Amino acid sequence: MKVLAVGDIVGNIGLNKLEEMLPIIMEKENIDFVVVNAENTSSGMGLTIKDFNTLLRMKIDAITMGNHTWGKKDIFSFIDNPKLIRPANYSKGVPGKGYNIFNCNNKKIAVINLIGRTDMNILSENPFTLAENLVNKLKNEADIVIVDFHAEATAEKIAMKYFLDGKVNIIFGTHTHVQTADEEITENGTGYITDLGMTGPKKSVIGMDIKASIKRFVTSLPERYKLAEGEAIFNGCVFELDDESLKTKNIYRIRM
């Protein structure tokens, strides 16, 4: 079983790059299951119905979100789509699902979306205790558990790796838009990477226009948020699971 996780889609440039590269990568790498983080897809913040429908036309199994889940009001019209997963540790009672279970190759795959609390400026429940509760619940419901931890702090993501080591099959981080070079298979067979990176404008500051970004840092004055243009980059990671033990036996980054 091979799982492809694709880093944060940023703007139309990222969406177009995904549409172009996904079929090629799936065929070349013999991918069985695809997870994509889409919280920055529409103008860099949120997800519109138009862009969501574009994602649905691709061979994507699960679409995760993050701190910009509610960035576009369209979201409320399709938040209950079974492919869409928002952070599970948002406040109780908000619409949508924090996890879902999918069928693939006669296996049940649970995908959980969590959001970090360090430097995120989002009020959320404790991702560690909630993750523990969900994993215990899913023991008898899913064969494979995948976690997208959408968080700013590398320390928080690494702590989650150790916290869930051996209890889930795959953990990957999203949000920072910079691919980390620390992919590993833990002692207990969990595939992990701190951040997948982004699929979006290559010549940018994490997807943002360079001049606008520099002006904000130099002057400390507010500057209109503007997405960068030009060539795109594709970032993701492939996790290969053993067909019997379902532990991760191989992991490698994709950067194109």
Active site residues: 68
Say how far residue 172 (Cα) sits from the centre of its chain: 7
Nearest to 156 by CA among 189, 191, 131: 131
Angle (nearest 5°) at CA 117 between 89 and 167: 60
Query: Within a 13 Å sphere around the CA of 132, how many CA atoms are in the beta-carbon half?
Result: 7
Give 203-208 contacts, CB < 8 A, sequence gap 24+.
Answer: 203/228, 203/230, 203/231, 204/228, 206/10, 206/176, 206/177, 206/178, 207/8, 207/10, 207/11, 207/14, 207/40, 207/44, 207/177, 208/44
Q: How far, CA to CA in Å, does 5 sit from each of 31, 62, 72, 96, 235?
A: 10, 10, 23, 21, 9
d(CA 98, CA 185): 25
For the beta carbon of residue 97, count every other beta carbon within 10 angstroms.
16
